[in-house]
Chains A and B, each alone.
Chain A
């Protein structure tokens, strides 16, 4: 039991200490420390910029996926209206994949936003401490004997160092997270490149590869449900008469759906 005591804070403290840039010769470190601190502050800024870049990329993908969802939804409706169930199914499958990706992206964008905020706050704190160090070092230089100055300098340098190390840890976490997100962004790009979210009307003869991929990726039941729903809404089948169909009774037309290979159209009818 005693072994657990302080484990958490000890581990964290050890991590911070490892990142601490300890001055070897305090006598000449005053200006060196300060210079080093300013350099590190630049790195933090760069870190924040990286997070922002990653976030922007994800947001751009979000926008393009949202457009795909709208487009594919429209196409699915058009396909159902035209009685082309296969095409409708393909559009819905694509829409399904796009929506799943969209949800994932959304969570990640939120997470990155939090990281960005945290890093920005940390950067401000660090900046304040560095500024304070700058003032302090002049006072130390002017007022203290060499021996006493050494002690005070190393105290101050350690204090600022700790703040820096803490920002360092926060950056590491942010970098780890952005790495994961980059992986996700790449995966979405690959899906895009493979035509997963493409216009279904652009389907050519070489679609077998995409189809196989889609079948693995999309959840069939969801697509079936949605297809049935769409058919219910629009009025299934290819009833040739464009007469105004009563909203709910539409699917009871005498002609069975011509498209597809015996698709489960019946369950949509009331």
Chain B
């Protein structure tokens, strides 16, 4: 599957890693829900690190559409709160 980290690169990630990716993403969002900033920062970093580590970067000249798009690495806790909880789910 193809995963994009917004503002960075697209990665080809083996399909069997999908569950792990999902679990990491869920962990990060749960921290946003519970207002746990440090936990969020840690898990969000782990999520992106996981993709970079287990994925293979897709060349700039290759044209692919992503299956999953993750937020940019400099996403702040505040932004995450706006985007991924409550009201934030309604697109702006």
Contact = CB atoms under 8 A, between A and B. Distances in A.
Given A124-B60, A170-B72, A8 B7 contact: no
A159 B64 contact: yes
Contacts of B89: 7, 11
B25 interface: yes
Contacts of A15: 91
Contacts, number: 86
Given A122-B7, A169-B7, A155 B68 contact: no
Interface stretch (A131-139, A179-187, A211-219, A229-237): A131-139
Interface of B: 4, 6-7, 9, 22, 25-26, 28-30, 33, 60-66, 68-72, 74, 80, 83-84, 88-89, 91
Contacts of B69: 9, 12-13, 16, 162, 166
A128 B9 CA distance: 13
A11 B30 contact: no
Say whether chain A's binding surface is mostly helix, strand, loop, or mixed: helix
Contacts of A1: 26
A179 B69 CA distance: 26
A132 B60 CA distance: 9
Given A5-B22, A7-B84, A8-B71, A169 B65 contact: no
A170 B5 CA distance: 12
Interface string A11-27: 11111101000000000
Contacts of B9: 125
A131 B7 contact: no
A173 B25 contact: no
Contacts of A125: 9, 60
A59 interface: no
Contacts of B91: 14-15, 18
Interface of A: 1, 4-9, 11-16, 18, 114, 118, 122, 124-125, 128-129, 131-133, 136, 155-156, 158-160, 162, 166, 169-170, 173
A133 B74 CA distance: 29
A12 B6 contact: yes
Contact of B22 (A6, A18, A131, A173): A6
B61 A8 contact: no
Nearest to B59: A128
Contacts of B80: 8
Contacts of A136: 63
Given A5-B26, A6-B25, A9-B25, A160 B7 contact: no
Contacts of B88: 11
A114 B74 contact: yes
Nearest to A11: B83
B37 to A, nearest CB: 16
9 contacts: A4-B30, A8-B28, A11-B89, A13-B69, A16-B69, A129-B63, A132-B61, A132-B63, A166-B6
